[in-house]
Structure 1
Amino acid sequence: MRVYRLVKERFADTALDGSGAKLYGGRWNRKGHAAVYTSDSIALAALELLVHLHRSEVLNRYRLVTLDLPDDEVLVLDDAGLPGDWRDDPAPVSTAAIGTAWLSGGQSLALSVPSVLIPQQCNLLLNPGHGACAAVFATASLQPFDFDPRLVR
Structure 2
Amino acid sequence: MLSVWRLVTARFAKSAFSGEGARLYGGRWNRKGVSLVYTAGTQSLAMLEMLVQDEPLRARYVMIEARIPKGVTIDRIKMEDLPSDWRDIAAREKLQAIGTEWATKRSAAVLAVPSAVIPAETNYLLNPRHPDFRRIRIGKPQKFETDLRLIKT
TM-score above 0.5? yes
In 2, Cα distance between the equivalents of 1:52 and 1:78? 23
* Structure 1, gaps ≥5 residues long: none
2: CA distance between counterparts of 1:91 and 1:51? 17
Equivalent residue runs for 1:116-135 within 5 Å:
116-135=116-135
Aligned to 2:108: 108
Alignment correspondent of 1:67: 66
Q: CA deviation at 1:89?
A: 1.6
Residue 6 of structure 1 aligns to a residue whose secondary structure is: strand
Task: Let me know the Cα RMSD of the aligned residues.
Answer: 1.4
The Cα shift of 1:151 comes to: 2.1
Q: What CA distance in whole angstroms lies between the structure 2 residues aligned with 1:91 and 1:59? A: 29
Moved over 4 A (4+): none
How many correspondences in the alignment?
Answer: 150
Partner of 1:31: 32
Query: By how many angstroms is 1:49 displaced?
Result: 0.1
CA distance in 2, matches of 1:103, 1:80: 21
Q: Give the CA deviation at 1:91.
A: 4.6
SS at match of 2:75: strand
Q: Is the 8 A contact 1:29 1:99 kept in 2?
A: yes
Distance 2:116 2:33 in 1: 23
Equivalent position SS for 1:16: coil
Give the structure-1-normalised TM-score.
0.91
Query: How many Å apart are 1:52 and its aligned residue?
Result: 1.1
2:12 aligned counterpart, secondary structure: helix
Identity %: 41
Query: What does 1:64-103 align with in structure 2 at a 5 Å threshold?
Result: 64-71=63-70, 72-103=72-103
Cα distance in 2 for residues equivalent to 1:81 and 1:29: 17
Matched, 1:144 2:136: no
Contiguous gaps of at least 5 residues in structure 2? none
2-side partners of 1:15 and 1:92: how far apart?
23
Q: Distance in 2 between matches of 1:147 and 1:90?
A: 30
Mapped contact 1:85–1:92 kept (Cα < 8 A)? no
1:46 pairs with 2:25: no
